[in-house]
């Protein structure tokens, strides 16, 4: 077992303290999709460069990851990439289409299709190692040390793109495989668990201080199906990172019914989507977990005082959990006004509790 050590500056980071279940002096904040189309500086550096191309360029990854940290002074950076990037890196023919999402040229249907996908090695993603190293160097000097979050897609969410061939509403082909071809499903989920685990391991070994596993579409499963067909593979991914000694966040959308099961997958902190009342989520998870979330990303379009009133309630509720990281309850909407996120960051970071 290899323990990855955290520098002294980072040890006092409110974000890492909250993940460790220690009570930081204030609630830390970052935003899912904080880098991206809501930022004019992002649109500028991305001009004429495809999404996947940007994700394979260490210099661009570094710049785009730092942009929201510079602008907002958020308490964590999240590595700029995508959940399908590791598939692209091992040779799967796919693209990320603007306004659509990941599109796969030859969807996976058979055991032979699964066997044709290579496992991921660090040599496939040398630009990731380079970008993480650059970033941790730069981030050490920002606001007394800002941690970097590494991330990967969880097996179910990545499998949904591979099997459907693109984004889906019903996940009919994915579920047809899950229920009708359990051997293919098992092989595919193992394959992706290996790839996502390796992708996280590369980021952690290069210096990421925490990881988030995105199972964005797991909420499409019933609890029983999640437990049987999804959870074991997510557990494997999280266990691999656990062995490296970094804290883990596990997030899904529309996941209210799955919270206790998602908690049992191994992460210290569970991300709560915006539909789920935070106090209810804390009750479901019990005392053993920190929580992350969960302001409705659309509230950023409301008058500032309405947004901040709701943010205050979330901070107060978060204080009753083992640890709380303030975030939106899903990603930043591309048309978001960055000035609203700047006000929200300022509000969370300077929030004074109503009572001691
Ligand atoms: O959070 C961050 O700031 C880090 C970057 C990040 C991206 N994708 C960049 C991106 C992260 C963490 C992701 C994860 C991701 N990608 C998820 C899980 C999180 C979630 O939103 O639930 C999923 C489901 C994907 C797949 C994907 N990639 C989608 C659905 C889309 C949006 C398609 C669109 O254009 O509306 C993408 C593309 C993508 N990934 C963009 C960004 C900034 C937009 C592409 C662009 O800027 O051209």
Pick the residue whose CA is nearest to atom 41 on ligand 1.
36
Examine residue 1 and state whether it is found in any structural domain, yes or no: no
Rounded CA-CA distance 106/94 in Å is 8
**Residue at 2 is within a domain:** no
Is 171 designated active site?
no
- Please report whether residue 320 resides in a domain: yes
Pocket test for ligand 1, best of 32, 33, 76 (most atoms within 8 A of CB): 33
Give the mean model confidence (pLDDT) for residues 228-232. 98
95 is catalytic: no
pLDDT, average across residues 98-105 = 96
283 CA to middle of ligand 1, Å?
A: 30
- pLDDT for 8 equals 64
Is position 356 within any domain? no
User: How many angstroms separate the CA atoms of 326 and 344, rounded?
Assistant: 10
Give pLDDT tens digits for 3-53.
555 566 788 899 999 999 999 999 999 999 999 999 999 999 999 999 999
Distance of CA 59 to the CA centre of its chain: 21
Q: Strand pairing of 269-271 and 248-251?
A: parallel
Predicted confidence band of residue 352 (pLDDT cuts 50, 70, 90): confident
Domain assignment of residue 354, yes or no? no
CATH of the domain at 137: 3.20.20.210
Q: Across the chain, where does the E strand assignment appear?
A: 77-78, 94-97, 101-104, 148-153, 210-214, 248-251, 269-271, 290-295, 324-328
Structural domain span for residue 311:
8-349
Residues 115 and 188: their CA atoms lie apart, in Å, by 8
For the cut 80, the answer to whether the pLDDT of residue 149 exceeds it is: yes
pLDDT at position 353: 72
Q: H/E element holding 182?
A: helix 182-205
- Cα–Cα distance list, 274 to 26, 70, 80, 223, 296 (Å): 22, 26, 23, 19, 5
Domain total in the chain: 1
CA distance 193 to 98: 26
In this structure, is residue 3 part of a structural domain?
no
Q: Which of 42, 161, 171, 233 is catalytic?
A: 161
Number of other residues whose CB lies within 10 A of the CB of residue 73 = 15
Residue whose C-alpha is closest to residue 206's, from 215, 198, 196, 195: 198
Q: Name which of 224, 213, 236 is nearest 292 in CA terms.
A: 213
190 given a catalytic annotation: no
Pocket of ligand 1 (CB under 6 A): 32-37, 51, 78, 80, 82-83, 96, 98-102, 151, 157, 214, 216, 253, 331
pTM assigned to the model? 0.96
1 C-alpha vs ligand 1 centroid, how far in Å? 32
Please check whether residue 103 lies inside any domain of the structure: yes
Q: Is 119 a residue of the active site?
A: no
- Per the annotation, the verdict on 33 as an active-site residue is yes
Residue 330 annotated as lining a ligand binding site: yes
- For the chain, the average pLDDT equals 96
Cα separation, 23 vs 319, in Å, equals 9
Q: What's the gap in Å between 82 CA and the centre of ligand 1?
A: 6
Percentage with pLDDT > 90 across the chain:
95
pLDDT at 356: 46
- Is the pLDDT higher at 172 or at 352? 172
What ipTM was assigned to the predicted interfaces of this complex?
Answer: 0.93
Q: What residues contact residue 180 under an 8 Å CB cut-off, 6+ apart?
A: none
d(CA 136, CA 66): 10
Q: Which atom of ligand 1 is least distant from the CA of 97?
A: 35
- Tell me the C-alpha distance between 331 and 228, whole Å: 28
> Among the atoms of ligand 1, which is closest to the Cα of residue 37?
47
For residue 165, is it within any domain? Answer: yes
Ligand 1: residue of 88, 96, 293, 341 to mutate (most ligand atoms within 8 A of CB) is 96
């Amino acid at each position: 077992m290899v323990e990855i050590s955290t520098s002294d500056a980072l040890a006092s980071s409110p974000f890492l303290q909250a993940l460790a279940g220690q009570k930081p002096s204030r609630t830390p904040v970052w935003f899912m999709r904080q880098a991206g189309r809501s930022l004019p500086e992002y649109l500028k550096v991305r001009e004429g460069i495809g999404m996947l191309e940007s994700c394979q360029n260490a210099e661009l990854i570094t710049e785009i990851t730092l942009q929201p940290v510079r602008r907002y002074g958020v308490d964590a950076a999240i590595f700029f990439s995508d959940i399908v990037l590791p598939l692209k890196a091992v040779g799967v023919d796919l693209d990320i289409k603007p306004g659509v999402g990941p599109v796969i040229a030859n969807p996976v249907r058979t055991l032979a299709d699964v066997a044709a996908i290579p496992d991921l090695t660090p040599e496939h993603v040398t630009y990731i190692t380079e970008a993480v190293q650059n970033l941790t160097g730069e981030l050490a000097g920002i606001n007394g040390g800002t941690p970097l979050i590494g991330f990967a897609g969880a097996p179910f969410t990545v499998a949904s793109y591979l099997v459907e061939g693109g984004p889906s509403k019903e996940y009919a082909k994915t579920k047809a495989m899950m229920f009708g071809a359990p051997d293919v499903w098992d092989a595919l989920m193992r394959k992706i668990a290996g790839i996502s685990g390796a992708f996280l391991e590369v980021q952690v070994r290069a210096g990421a201080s925490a990881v988030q596993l995105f199972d964005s579409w797991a909420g499409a499963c019933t609890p029983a199906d999640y437990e049987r067909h999804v959870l074991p593979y997510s557990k494997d991914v999280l266990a691999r990172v656990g062995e490296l000694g970094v804290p883990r966040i596990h997030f899904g959308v529309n996941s209210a019914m799955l919270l206790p099961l998602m908690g049992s997958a191994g992460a210290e902190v569970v991300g709560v989507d915006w539909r789920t009342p935070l106090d209810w989520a804390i009750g479901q998870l019990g005392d053993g977990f920190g929580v992350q979330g969960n302001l409705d990303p659309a509230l950023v379009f409301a008058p500032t005082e309405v947004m901040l009133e709701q943010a205050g309630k979330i901070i107060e509720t978060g204080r009753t959990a083992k640890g709380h990281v303030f975030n939106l309850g899903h990603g930043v909407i591309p048309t978001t006004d960055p000035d609203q996120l700047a006000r929200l960051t300022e509000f969370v970071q300077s929030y004074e509790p109503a009572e001691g």
